[in-house]
Chains A and B, each alone.
Chain A
């Protein structure tokens, strides 16, 4: 390394030093310590006591753990809906419509409503006696549902509510759509491509990196499904444990049952599962994500 390199290295490291300190303090240390705690019995008020893989062994036999995992897996029905509907809205808006700013605002606003406020609003919408959801069903001459109170409809109710917030994804798609190179459309038109063919052969390949991003972020987000269930269900995770999601059960173990060691073990399993899912998505994405060669 030349003296000049050394000087640059020193300057560079100095500039990024806040991040390095933060990385060790707020990421690496908590992660490593939680790995250790996951091997301990740790009832918060008493110091941790090493028990080896005991927590992991108990998790495997914990029926609520598997229930929580299955409930979380169910929510992944939402992922394709989010990806497709967000894109569909963006495509509609991208048709050169008038009042674009107006529609964009209407679709986007639900995405920036604080989750607590939207959870509260939807709790009222899903009220089995007086809620808006049943009003709309009655307008269509359909019988009312019990929504969050019925274990059969509780998870689909959450999915429906989340779809109200697809505006965030729509904005990202909209930006991507506006970045599709014009010459590709011209070439496709010269080849006599219709709207559908343009969508399949020009638009989708061009925005596939953004779709990949949405799928990965959506996956991470769904594994962490928490606030809505925390606020909207009584008892939490009910009815009949139908909304006991992984992050909710993890949180309850840590802060309600004071089983920190157990909860840390769950957190590490979550890490590994998310990492595994991300790797699988990235691997398969090589087949369908298209990167412009010029980059």
Chain B
């Protein structure tokens, strides 16, 4: 028995070590993102980089900015200002220790460590948000996402009701057809849809991104149907006897009982609309109608070398998703987990 607890302890140590290791690797890109977003240009282009945004200290000597350095000499740290370069090494003047202040000498450049100070260049954010009209794009994205959520909630709950709470011949075969459409690759459909929307004159408007949501998407129908099936049938029967219509049953009984499932659908639809890239890329052509994802891609195309600005814009796009995730973690996880639970 004792060896078993020892074994269990060893296992847990290994488990935690691996989790921390993986966790470190997974978190590193985020740290890199935020770190770069706060760096000044000279700090962005440094190898190896410093994780905490910082700059090399400079002071003015005889009216010219000169770099500050330290090096070790006979066990003590000497702080110097670099004056000039010569074939013998770097010409420096001592600042500290006080006893040697003013002394000048030549040092091998590789011994010199630059003095750094922490510097967060917050200005990257307003600068990035000026070239990348975050508020306008966020409003466009929000507009599309909210309409998609409304459309999906309305249509998917009505259709899911038809697939779960009413018995009719051929229902289950039809439902398999719904599930089969989930397998159709979007990329293959995007061209013919584009051609169709072009004939309808919808290209360059939000309609191609929003209207299909009002006809129910297979995944949301599936998710709501699974939930509706778990509600007891007696509820509907009692209401039917009281003369309530099917639509009335859906509205007054099923919907109020399905709030968690509806919340999951709303959240996933919202996130999906927030992340979508290909739809806006194909259907929108006016820059003032761009979504966040599309705007970010355009920003990258135009200012590809402004890494601190790009990372600032990226942080601003990612942050709302992370905030939503923290507030709605349970709803989120339940929804994602459900995607694997095919009946």
Bound Cα distance A201, B287 (Å): 56
A–B pairs, 7, beta carbons within 8 Å? A11-B166, A12-B168, A12-B171, A18-B158, A103-B19, A130-B47, A250-B191
Q: Is A260 an interface residue (CB 8 A)?
A: yes
Q: How distant is A144 from chain B, measured CB to nearest CB, in Å?
A: 9
With both beta carbons as reference points, the residue of chain A lying nearest to B221 in the complex is identified as A19
Judge whether A210 and B340 touch: CB under 8 Å: yes
Which of A15, A22, A174 gathers most chain B CB within 10 Å?
Answer: A15
Judge whether B188 and A267 touch: CB under 8 Å: yes
Q: Is A203 an interface residue (CB 8 A)?
A: no
Bound Cα distance A164, B28 (Å): 10
Judge whether B169 and A132 touch: CB under 8 Å: no
Contacts of B297 in A (CB 8 A): 116, 231
With both beta carbons as reference points, the residue of chain A lying nearest to B163 in the complex is identified as A16
18 extra interface residue pairs, beta carbon distance < 8 Å, beyond A116-B297, A220-B183, A274-B183: A18-B216, A19-B178, A27-B184, A37-B192, A37-B195, A93-B19, A97-B19, A112-B325, A114-B318, A116-B300, A132-B29, A167-B26, A171-B336, A172-B336, A172-B337, A231-B297, A264-B192, A271-B188
Chain A window 107-128, contacts with chain B (Cβ cutoff 8 Å), 1 for yes, 0 for no: 1111011111100111111010
Bound Cα distance A214, B19 (Å): 23
Chain B window 304-339, contacts with chain A (Cβ cutoff 8 Å), 1 for yes, 0 for no: 000100110010011001100110010001001111
Judge whether B191 and A260 touch: CB under 8 Å: yes
A-B residue pairs, 5 tightest by C-beta: A22-B215, A15-B162, A175-B337, A12-B168, A30-B192
Contacts of B184 in A (CB 8 A): 27, 31, 271
Q: Is A84 an interface residue (CB 8 A)?
A: no
Q: Is A92 an interface residue (CB 8 A)?
A: yes
The prevalent SS among residues of B at the interface is: helix
Bound Cα distance A278, B270 (Å): 29
Bound Cα distance A33, B46 (Å): 54
Q: Which of A1, A16, A92, A251 contacts B169 (CB 8 A)?
A: A1
Q: Which of B22, B47, B186, B314 contacts A135 (CB 8 A)?
A: B47
Q: How distant is B199 from chain A, measured CB to nearest CB, in Å?
A: 10
Bound Cα distance A128, B216 (Å): 45
Task: Report the contact-size class of chain A (Cβ under 8 Å from the partner).
Answer: 35 or more
Q: What is the total number of residues of chain B having a CB less than 8 Å from a CB of chain A?
A: 90
Q: Which of B33, B212, B329, B339 contacts A121 (CB 8 A)?
A: B33
Judge whether A110 and B187 touch: CB under 8 Å: no
Chain B window 158-176, contacts with chain A (Cβ cutoff 8 Å), 1 for yes, 0 for no: 1101110011111100100
Judge whether A114 and B321 touch: CB under 8 Å: yes
Bound Cα distance A14, B310 (Å): 50
Judge whether B337 and A171 touch: CB under 8 Å: yes
Of the candidate stretches B53-61, B63-71, B113-121, B273-281, the one touching chain A is: B273-281
Contacts of B47 in A (CB 8 A): 129-130, 134-135
Contacts of A274 in B (CB 8 A): 183, 185, 188
Q: Is B30 an interface residue (CB 8 A)?
A: yes
With both beta carbons as reference points, the residue of chain B lying nearest to A21 in the complex is identified as B215
Judge whether B311 and A213 touch: CB under 8 Å: no
With both beta carbons as reference points, the residue of chain B lying nearest to A223 in the complex is identified as B185
With both beta carbons as reference points, the residue of chain B lying nearest to A269 in the complex is identified as B188
Bound Cα distance A97, B11 (Å): 11
Q: Is A168 an interface residue (CB 8 A)?
A: yes
Judge whether B49 and A16 touch: CB under 8 Å: no
Q: How distant is A265 from chain B, measured CB to nearest CB, in Å?
A: 10
Q: Is A8 an interface residue (CB 8 A)?
A: yes
Q: Which of B19, B189, B194, B296 contacts A27 (CB 8 A)?
A: B189
Q: Is B246 an interface residue (CB 8 A)?
A: yes
With both beta carbons as reference points, the residue of chain B lying nearest to A132 in the complex is identified as B32
Contacts of B221 in A (CB 8 A): 19
Q: How distant is A248 from chain B, measured CB to nearest CB, in Å?
A: 9
Q: Which of A18, A112, A210 contacts B271 (CB 8 A)?
A: A112
Q: Is A263 an interface residue (CB 8 A)?
A: yes
